[in-house]
Structure 1
Amino acid sequence: MTEITRVPLQPIAKGSLTKLWVGIAAVALLGCGVAWAAMPASVDVDTLVAGQGPSPTRDDVALVNYKGTLPDGKVFDEGKQAVLPLAEVVPGFTKALEQMQKGGKYKVHIPSALAYGDKGAGPIPANTDLDFEIELLDFKSRAEIEQQQRIMQQLQQMQMGGGAPAAGMPGAGPAVPPPAQ
């Protein structure tokens, strides 16, 4: 038969239980603070006028009206019917556009980490949050844009070459059969 060694429990000193709970709460709060600090920066998008339909993706090209302001309200940039490839703008602008629909108007806040960060750009100082008013007029995929460009180039070549469009092409008129021999 094995013998069990018994250790008597000591009474808990007055106030020790409270100190234990305060310590546990402090560790939990510290963990929450570390988790919050490690969260990636996010973009705030407020809808002023709701749009309709699908949202653009990073691979699309958007047609927008926009106005960008610094925290003090100073306008640093604006564009009317600006053509913007989503993959070529600051990450926060891309993330915002991915949450919009055609015809919608939005107010957007981009934290500096998703804008120009510690580098700054032109009139935008380093570590500056940016605010935008954006109207998404339209968007198309890169493939659609490239196809439209090819068609435009073909039309320009036909006009520059002075030749008439081939029979059956728009503007060619009716096809005339060759004279009989």
Structure 2
Amino acid sequence: MSKINLNTLRELKSSKARFFSVTLLLALAVFIFAGLKATTPDMNQTMRSEYDKTNLADAQLNNSLGFTGSEIESIQKNKNIKSVSKSFQTIAVTSNNKHAINIISNPEKLSKFTITKGREPKKDNEIILGEQLRGDYNIGQQIKIKHNDDLKQKQYKIVGFATSSVYMKKSNLGQTNLGDGQIDAFAGV
């Protein structure tokens, strides 16, 4: 056996704990990187299938005054635009000042909600809430809205809960000048 091999064996025998800890750290690093490399395609596939299922919009145009019919027509005529879906969106606060909610007219074609419990709203006084509020409200319960003159109704019956590909985060869904300044959830009417 050569001198370098003997020296290496002596070094390993004298510091077994260090050798095993370095070996363990290297093995752990390899497992982590291999796991991340294997997981990334699965995560991308899951995201893509969710976006396809809900037909997530590639772009969203917002206008505080709304769009005229001719503006919508000119957008639809653009050859690069495959589909146009219009919806109403407003922010309101619950009557107990606990939650600021982004209320959206239930989208028909693009960025559709995924109902997780209950059903879609069918009447003007019905609403579905985002999963963020599931612990605070129940199906069949009434929710009162204030600080919003854009809505015809001020009280809604909760008929379901949903998720949305637009709102992947569970909290801090945006800023508002109502409530504590944070949008806590979304809702669909």
TM-score when scaled to structure 1? Answer: 0.30
Q: Which has the larger radius of gyration?
A: 1
TM-score when scaled to structure 2? Answer: 0.29
